[in-house]
């Protein structure tokens, strides 16, 4: 799953392009489970960027989109 209009970077690509990001913008970083996004957030924060880790990741986001049925 991909969030439409959100840029998608691998960690290696992020290390190559981070200087092109706007330091006056807040970035919400998400991955599948929250682990890699936490690493990316740490990297960006150390470089002076304002970042928020979507800690539960896409797994939790996708779960919220699935209709829930009560089991009897």
31 carries an active-site annotation: yes
Sign of CA dihedral 39, 40, 42, 47: positive
* pLDDT tens by residue, 39-50: 999 999 999 999
Answer for the pair 51, 29: CB distance below 8 angstroms, yes or no.
yes
Q: pTM for this structure?
A: 0.77
Residue 68 has pLDDT above 70, yes or no: no
Q: CATH: 3.40.80.10, 3.40.250.10, 3.20.20.140, 3.30.70.260. Which one for 11-65?
A: 3.40.250.10
Instruction: Spot the catalytic one: 31, 54, 56, 60.
Output: 31
Instruction: Give dist(CA 70, CA 68) in Å, integer.
Output: 7
Domain boundaries, the chain: 11-65
From residue 31, give the alpha-carbon distance in Å to each of 4, 46, 56, 69: 14, 19, 9, 26
Quick one: which H or E segment has residue 52?
A: strand 50-53
């Amino acid at each position: 799953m991909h969030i439409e209009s959100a840029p998608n970077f691998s960690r290696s690509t992020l290390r190559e392009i981070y200087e092109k990001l706007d330091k006056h913008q807040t970035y919400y970083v998400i991955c599948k489970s929250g682990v890699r996004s936490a690493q990316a957030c740490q990297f960006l924060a150390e470089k002076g960027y304002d970042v928020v880790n979507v800690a539960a990741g896409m797994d939790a986001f996708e779960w919220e989109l699935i209709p829930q049925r009560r089991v009897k």
